[in-house]
Structure 1
Amino acid sequence: MAAVDPEIIAALGTESFQEEFRGPCYSGRFNEDQWEEEFEKIPLFMKKAPSEIDPLKNPELACLQSIIFDDERSPEEQAKIYKNEGNDYFKEKDYKKAVTSYTEGLKKKCADPNLNAVLHTNRAAAQYYMGNFRSALNDAMAARKRKPCHLKAIVRGALCHLELKNYAEAVNWCDDGLQIDSREKTLLEVRAKADKLKRTEQRDMRKAKLKEKKEQNTNKALLQTIKARKVKLVTEAANEEEDSASAGLCKLLNGLSFQNSYGARPSVDDQGRLSWPVLFLYPEYAQSDFISAFHEDSRFIDHLVEMFDELPPWDLEQKYYAGNLEVYFEDEEREELYQVPPKSTLRQVLQHPRCFVKDLTPSFLVCVESSLFSKRYFQARNVQ
Structure 2
Amino acid sequence: MPTIKEIPDEESSAASLPAGPQMKHHDNHDQFMEDLMKTPLFMKTMPTEQEMEENETLAALHSLIYDGTPEEIATNFKNQGNDCFQGGRSQYKHAISYYTKALDQKADDAKLNATIYANRAAVNLELGNYRKVLNDCAAAITLQPENVKAYYRSAKALLALDKIPEALDCCERGLKVDADNVALKKEREKVLKRKQVVDEMERRRQEQEAKRKEDDLRLQEAIMVRGIKMVSRQQAQRDDEDSDAEEQPGIAHPLQGDHRVKLDPVTGALTWPVILLYPQYNESDLIAAFHEEDTFADHLQLMFGEERPGWDVEQIYSPDRLEVYFEARAEGKPPMLLRVGNKLRLLDILKHPDYQIIDGVCTFFVVPGDTDYSKTFRRKYKKRKP
Bin the TM-score by the shorter chain: 0.7 to 0.9
Deviations 1:70-105 (A, max 9, x none): 4xx322122212222322332343333332332232
User: Does structure 1 conserve the Cα–Cα contact (< 8 Å) formed by 2:114 and 2:141?
Assistant: yes
Q: Which residue of 2 aligns with 1:111?
A: 108
2:367 pairs with 1:367: yes
User: Does structure 1 conserve the Cα–Cα contact (< 8 Å) formed by 2:233 and 2:359?
Assistant: no
CA distance in 1, matches of 2:49, 2:376: 79
2:318 pairs with 1:318: no
2:280 pairs with 1:280: no
Q: Secondary structure at the match of 2:343?
A: coil
Give identity over the alignment, percent. Answer: 35
TM-score, with structure 1 as normaliser: 0.78
Deviations 1:211-267 (A, max 9, x none): 11111111112112212222221138959xxxxxxxxxxxxxxxxxxx951444332
- 174 and 269 in structure 1: CA distance in 2 versus 1, 3 angstrom threshold: closer
2:261 pairs with 1:261: no
Q: Which residue, 115, 132, 136 being the options, matches 1:135?
A: 132
CA distance in 2, matches of 1:50, 1:336: 84
CA distance in 2, matches of 1:119, 1:382: 85
Residue 41 of structure 1 deviates from its aligned partner by 1.1
Q: Which residue of 2 aligns with 1:79?
A: 74
CA distance in 1, matches of 2:328, 2:274: 16
> Bigger CA drift: 308-317 or 216-225?
308-317
2:59 pairs with 1:62: yes
Q: Which residue of 1 aligns with 2:251?
A: none
User: Does structure 1 conserve the Cα–Cα contact (< 8 Å) formed by 2:272 and 2:292?
Assistant: yes
CA distance in 2, matches of 1:27, 1:365: 100
Q: Given residue 310 of structure 1, which amino acid in structure 2 is its aligned partner?
A: E
Gaps of 5+ in 2: 15-20, 237-254
Q: Secondary structure at the match of 2:293?
A: coil
User: Does structure 1 conserve the Cα–Cα contact (< 8 Å) formed by 2:175 and 2:181?
Assistant: yes
- 306 and 236 in structure 1: CA distance in 2 versus 1, 3 angstrom threshold: closer
User: Does structure 2 conserve the Cα–Cα contact (< 8 Å) formed by 1:298 and 1:346?
Assistant: yes
Q: Secondary structure at the match of 2:327?
A: strand
Residue 45 of structure 1 deviates from its aligned partner by 3.9
CA distance in 2, matches of 1:363, 1:236: 12
> Bigger CA drift: 279-288 or 133-142?
279-288
Q: Secondary structure at the match of 1:79?
A: helix
CA distance in 1, matches of 2:305, 2:22: 99
- 6 and 173 in structure 1: CA distance in 2 versus 1, 3 angstrom threshold: farther
Q: Which residue, 143, 148, 154 being the options, matches 1:146?
A: 143
Q: Which residue of 2 aligns with 1:339?
A: 339
Q: Given residue 8 of structure 1, which amino acid in structure 2 is its aligned partner?
A: E
Residue 120 of structure 1 deviates from its aligned partner by 0.9
Q: Which residue of 2 aligns with 1:220?
A: 217
Across the two proteins, how many residue pairs are aligned to each other? Answer: 348
1:41-52 aligned within 5 A: 41-52=38-49
Residue 313 of structure 1 deviates from its aligned partner by 4.0
Q: Secondary structure at the match of 1:322?
A: coil
User: Does structure 1 conserve the Cα–Cα contact (< 8 Å) formed by 2:259 and 2:273?
Assistant: no
Q: Given residue 303 of structure 1, which amino acid in structure 2 is its aligned partner?
A: H
Q: Secondary structure at the match of 1:7?
A: coil
> Bigger CA drift: 320-329 or 86-95?
86-95
Q: Given residue 358 of structure 1, which amino acid in structure 2 is its aligned partner?
A: I
> Bigger CA drift: 150-159 or 286-295?
286-295
Q: Given residue 304 of structure 1, which amino acid in structure 2 is its aligned partner?
A: L
> Bigger CA drift: 273-282 or 160-169?
273-282
Q: Secondary structure at the match of 2:106?
A: coil
- 280 and 290 in structure 1: CA distance in 2 versus 1, 3 angstrom threshold: same
Q: Which residue, 7, 30, 42 being the options, matches 2:5?
A: 7
Q: Which residue, 162, 167, 181 being the options, matches 1:165?
A: 162
Q: Which residue of 2 aligns with 1:123?
A: 120
Q: Which residue of 1 aligns with 2:292?
A: 296
Q: Secondary structure at the match of 1:277?
A: strand
- 38 and 198 in structure 1: CA distance in 2 versus 1, 3 angstrom threshold: same
Q: Secondary structure at the match of 1:62?
A: helix
Gaps of 5+ in 1: 240-258
Q: Given residue 93 of structure 2, which amino acid in structure 1 is its aligned partner?
A: K
Q: Given residue 367 of structure 2, which amino acid in structure 1 is its aligned partner?
A: C
User: Does structure 1 conserve the Cα–Cα contact (< 8 Å) formed by 2:81 and 2:96?
Assistant: yes
User: Does structure 2 conserve the Cα–Cα contact (< 8 Å) formed by 1:328 and 1:340?
Assistant: yes
CA distance in 2, matches of 1:82, 1:275: 73
Residue 375 of structure 1 deviates from its aligned partner by 4.4
Residue 48 of structure 1 deviates from its aligned partner by 2.8
Q: CA RMSD in A?
A: 3.3
Residue 193 of structure 1 deviates from its aligned partner by 2.6
User: Does structure 2 conserve the Cα–Cα contact (< 8 Å) formed by 1:265 and 1:277?
Assistant: yes
Q: Which residue of 1 aligns with 2:85?
A: 90
Residue 129 of structure 1 deviates from its aligned partner by 2.2
Q: Which residue of 1 aligns with 2:357?
A: 357
Relative contact order (alpha carbons < 8 A, sep ≥ 6): 1 or 2 greater? 2
Q: Secondary structure at the match of 1:171?
A: helix
4+ long deviations beyond 6 Å: none
Q: Secondary structure at the match of 2:334?
A: coil
